[in-house]
Structure 1
Amino acid sequence: MTPDRQIHDALNALGVRIEHVRDLPADRDGEYVHERRLIRLRAGMARRLHRSVLAHECAHAIFADEPSMFGPVNAKQERRADEWAALRLIRHEDYAAAEAIHHGHAGAIAHDLDVVRSIIEAYQRVLLRVGDTVYVQPKMGAGMWTHREDVA
């Protein structure tokens, strides 16, 4: 199953609807309205942007995020949504290949992986390099990571 299909399936399971609209604030391409179980996306977005924004807003729906009057809370929700989206839209093998080709250039990697740069940057935040090994989503304790790869 493709990442895009998984995201749509998750939204269906949550009972979240998607609307394509033209009246979003200029600084937004999408938003999640929790009390209406609704994702609003800017109509006419390019594919890379559309799938990135949809995955990001899906994360807000999964975590039942609502805007807060506290800036740090909003910032944490935004980081978490980008990282969740990145882990759903990017396969590690594809990221590693694109990173090697483009020498770590986030914009070029994003283009190859059909996402926006902020999703690549979020994916990079969940990586931990220790010596010659890269860990995806490392946790405390032996053997606790999503993926491990030797890069030397």
Structure 2
Amino acid sequence: MQQLLRLADDLGIRIVERGGPTPGGFQPVTRTIRLAPGMSRRTTRSILAHELGHAHLGHQPTREAALRARQERQADEWAAARLITPTAYAAAEQLRGPHPPSIAFELDVTIEVVLAFQRLLLRQRGPASAA
């Protein structure tokens, strides 16, 4: 968590705890990340990393569904690459099996972050090695 807070500081992003329609959000104009109060440590950590992904990638709010979905995937994958190492993922999968919720619990992240990491692994391995 400290690494994420340092990154936010390096990016000039202020973090506030405040409720809203979603558990978190990034406001590019004010360089502010909003986190809902009362979330678990793993949820807070995962959402903070996701919102930092939006900031780092320069995402802007949009009403265009396809663009928004792409930005959400990109932010999830950015977060996954910072919160999970291939070694830690392999160890968690060995211990817990292929069940994403169990892997997420083991890695102290949300299921969305695990699924994003799995997408990154599939892209790295390519279609030939997936067969």
The match for 2:28 is: 34
Gaps of 5+ in 2: 127-131
The match for 1:106 is: 100
The match for 1:43 is: 37
Task: Spell out structure 1 runs of 4+ moving beyond 6 A.
Answer: none
Q: TM-score, normalised by structure 1?
A: 0.78
Who wins on radius of gyration, i.e. which is larger? 1
Q: TM-score, normalised by structure 2?
A: 0.90
Any idea what the Cα deviations from partners look like across 1:36-69, whole Å, max 9, x if unmatched? Answer: 0000000111001000000000001111211112
Find 1:73's aligned residue among 64, 67, 71: 67
Measure, in 2, the Cα distance between the counterparts of 1:11 and 1:93. 26
Residue identity over aligned pairs, in percent, reads: 43
- RMSD between aligned alpha carbons? 1.5
Q: Which has the higher contact order (CA 8 A, sep 6+)?
A: 2
Gaps of 5+ in 1: 129-135, 140-152
Higher strand share: 1
Higher helix share: 2
Are 2:13 and 1:16 equivalent residues in the alignment? yes
TM-superposed deviation, 1:138: 5.7
